[in-house]
Structure 1
């Protein structure tokens, strides 16, 4: 079976939800997937074009009075099969975190202690904001989609983000209190 890039599989997965247009795909990216998988707006439409060319989805044009036509993309049985096949494959690349804070701290002896403290305090504030965002997203999923078949899996990925973020916050607190 032909291999596609991860962006293609991500968009195939998104098309299993109620998101059917390029705009809706961008919205779900910005609101949820962007926390762990980034796809630029410039990747969406070329990927949708490829998906249609490969007969993984078909495009339907919707017209409404006073508005421009809107293209909606719907997975074909081939598209669903390609997605399922990819989901069942072993993971090829485990994630490697690129963290500028850790990189700067690694070379911390060339920074003043004040700059190190400021770096970690700023990082902790951003992590606190991120954690609150995750809680807001969690509440929205529970309130709006609790019976949705996908919500269980959305909550699992969100839980991962919350736990990683909470651990990073705890690390910041410990480091600021005991190591600097």
Structure 2
């Protein structure tokens, strides 16, 4: 079977939800996937075009009085089978994190310790904000989970994000303490 980009598979997956237009897909990405998978607006329409060309989806024109017509995309049986086949394959490799903070910390011997402390404190605050965002998303999903068969799986990915954020906050606290107590016996 031919292999496609992860963006193709992500959009096939999104098309299993109520998101059918390019705009709705982008909103869905921004509100859910963006926390762990980035897809730019510029990738969406070319991918949708490719998906249609491959026969994975069909386009239907949706008309609403007083609004311009819009294209809506619906998975075909071939598209559903392609998504299913991809889901069943093992992952290719463990993800490799690109983290600017860790890169800067790695070379922080070359800056004043106060700057490194500020960098870590700022990062910790950002992580705490991210955790609160995840908690709010979790509450929104929990309030509406009976409406979606996907809710349980969305909560699994959200739990992963929350745990990563918690661990990173704990790491920041530990690293800050070690830097602050450096040289203290």
Q: TM class by shorter-chain length?
A: over 0.9
Instruction: State the alpha-carbon separation in 2 of the partners of residues 147 and 74 from structure 1.
Output: 20
Written as runs of structure 1 = structure 2, the 5 A alignment for 1:44-123 is 44-123=44-123
Contact 2:117 2:179 (C-alpha < 8 Å) held by counterparts: no
Give matches, 1:23-34, under 5 Å: 23-34=23-34
Shift of 1:145: 2.3
How many Å apart are 1:147 and its aligned residue? 4.9
1:130-145 counterparts in 2 under 5 A?
A: 130-145=130-145
Using the size of structure 1 for normalisation, the TM-score is 0.98
Unaligned runs of 5+ in 2: 181-185
CA offset at residue 80 of structure 1? 0.2
**What whole-Å deviation, never above 9, does each CA across 1:123-166 have from its counterpart, x for those lacking one?**
00100110000000000000022452100000000000000000
8 Å contact kept, 2:62–2:72: yes
Cα shift at 1:174? 1.1
**C-alpha separation between the residues in 2 aligned to 1:133 and 1:28?**
15
SS class of match (2:164): helix
1:98-135 deviation digits (Å, cap 9, x = unpaired): 11111111111101011000000000010011000000
Give CA-to-partner distance per residue, 1:50-76, whole Å, 9 cap, x none.
101111000100112210101110000
**Gapped regions of structure 1 (runs ≥ 5):** none
Q: Provide the secondary structure at the position in 1 that maps to 2:61.
A: strand
Match of 2:59, SS state, is strand
Deviation at 1:179, TM superposition (A): 3.0
TM-score normalised by length of structure 2: 0.95
Task: Give the structure 2 partner of residue 129 of structure 1.
Answer: 129
